[in-house]
Structure formats: C-alpha cells, structure tokens
Structure 1
Amino acid sequence: MEENKIKKLKKIIVWIVQMLLFTIFAWAGFMKIFKPNDLPFPWIKDNVILVPITGIIDLLAAIGILFPSLLNNKSRLTVYSAYGIIVLMFSAIVFHIFREEAKDIGFNIFIIFAALFIAWSKKNKL
C-alpha cells in the first residue's frame, strides 16, 4: 500500500513539472508572438525576426510537453518534446553567452533539468 502512495506522488510531481513547463512555454510563445514589446529581454529589440520564430517554437514546446500525455498517454512524444526543449535551452545558453549575457542562463539551466526530469520519468514510466 505504501508503494502505491509513492507511485501516485511521483506521478503528481511529473504532472506538476509538465504543467509548469507548459505554462512557461505557452506564456513565452504568446508574448513573443503577440506582445514582444512588453517583454523585458534585451535581445528582443536586437533580433526582431528571431522573436516570432522562437515564439512559435515555444508554443510547439508547450503543446508537445503536455498534450501527448493528456491524449492517449503517448509518452514517447512527450519525451521527444522534452529533448527538443533541452536543445532549445542549450541554444539559448549559447546565444546568451555570445551576447555576453551569461548571467541570464540560470533560468535556461533550470528548464533543462525540468525537461530532463520529464524525459527520464516518461521513459521509465513513472
């Protein structure tokens, strides 16, 4: 009986992290597409073409990290989305380092660990 409670708690934690990533990427995507001037990021004004492109990628990441698990439990697609988020965040880290904004990569590192957790948990069927 105790083992069932632990399994249930693990599933709840996975869903919370998925919802967190969904919320972050959905918000970022909508803001980059519809209200980029309201965002506080300095790179937005310097890279006007990159903003809507990353907005679309963010929205795809949001959809991919949550909806496959909601619909028919296609956890393999969620794992691929988590891998995509990891690649996206590594790209963002490189981008920030080249712009001499290395102090801003802490959030990207946090997202990488969250996405790694999702990929690991879905691969191991937690």
Structure 2
Amino acid sequence: MNATLFWCARINTWRGVATRHPQTRSALSTASAAHTTDSHYDRSRKHMNLALWITQALLAAIFATAGAVKLARPIDVLAQTLGEWVHAFPPVAVRLLGAAEVAAAIGLLVPAAVGIAPALTPAAAAGVIVVMIGATVVHVRHRESVKVPVTLIIAAAALFVFWGRLGPESL
C-alpha cells in the first residue's frame, strides 16, 4: 500500500468520511491499531511515573521526618522514642544517620523535580535501601522484631524507585 492512500484514509477518517475501498479500510484499521497501542503505552507510562512520584514523596516524607527527629532531639529522648539501639551507637553516629536521612529525602525528590542530575534520584533510593538493610540488622540484634517488617517495606519501596528511575521511567 502506498503512503498517499494511507494518508488519504487518515484524513477521511478525521473528517468523518467513510470509505469503501478495501485498501483504505485496511490502512485505517492498521493506523487505528497503532494509535490504540501507542496511547495505551503512554497511559501505562503515565501511571508508572505517577506511582514512582507518589512512592518517592512518601519515602521523602518518612526520611525527612526521621532525620529531623534524630538531628533535633536529645539522645536520651531518642532512646525512649526509637528504642534502646540508640545507646548502642555514639551520639555522633546517630546525628550522622539523621543527616543522611535528610539528604536521602532531598535526593529522592529534588533532582527528579528540577531535572538537574536526575541520576541522583536512583542513587538516593540505593542509599535508602542500604540504610534500611542496616536498620533491619540493628533491630534484629536488639530484639525489636516488631520494627523489621516496616524497614523491609520501606526498603522494597526504595527498590521500586531505584528500579523505576533507572529503567522504565528514567528521567
């Protein structure tokens, strides 16, 4: 089929003109199928991108809050709130963990939002995964098994962002 016949078929379809020519009908069905597939793909990409943004925002909120608490509150108050694991580490290490969590929150949102160094978003997600694996180990060692599922869920969400921003929805 030639290109002229294909475009005539498209123009007639847009105008609402029905055609009786078999080649034109074939061209119309092929063009419609391609358009349907493309729009479905675009919708899927939009949904994936939206899911990634929501996950990034939730992770950023969690980490900004947790980091700010570790930076602002006294160590003894943190031990009462977060658990006895706080006393197992030097106060400087707890403060550095808080700073790393705030940096992760910023890294999950800002590079992707402004489009500058977007590779930092999956890097921040990888950092969150590492922190959550460490948190899981610490909670298991201190017999705080109730907190383990939460850390694993957060790690899984960060893995989703890492995979999504490196692969199908890379920025």
TM-score scaled by length of structure 1: 0.88
Q: Which has the higher contact order (CA 8 A, sep 6+)?
A: 1
Partner of 1:26: 64
* Structure 2: stretches of 5+ with no match in the other structure: 1-38
How many Å separate the matches in 2 of 1:123 and 1:53?
27
How many Å separate the matches in 2 of 1:68 and 1:21?
15
From the CA coordinates, give the structure whose radius of gyration is larger: 2
**4+ residue stretches of structure 1 with deviation over 4 A?**
none
How many Å separate the matches in 1 of 2:86 and 2:61?
24
Please tell me whether residue 58 in structure 1 is matched to residue 101 in structure 2.
yes
2:53 to 4, 15, 18: 15
Aligned residues: 126
Letter in 1 for 2:99: I
How many Å separate the matches in 2 of 1:7 and 1:73?
21
* Alpha-carbon distance change, 113 to 73 in structure 1, aligned in 2, over 3 angstroms: farther
How many Å separate the matches in 2 of 1:73 and 1:53?
25
Decide which moves more: 11-20 or 60-69.
60-69
Whether the 8 Å CA contact 1:61–1:81 is kept in 2: the answer is yes
Letter in 1 for 2:121: T
Identity of aligned residues (%): 30
Letter in 1 for 2:111: P
- After superposition, the CA RMSD in angstroms is 1.9
* Structure 1: stretches of 5+ with no match in the other structure: none
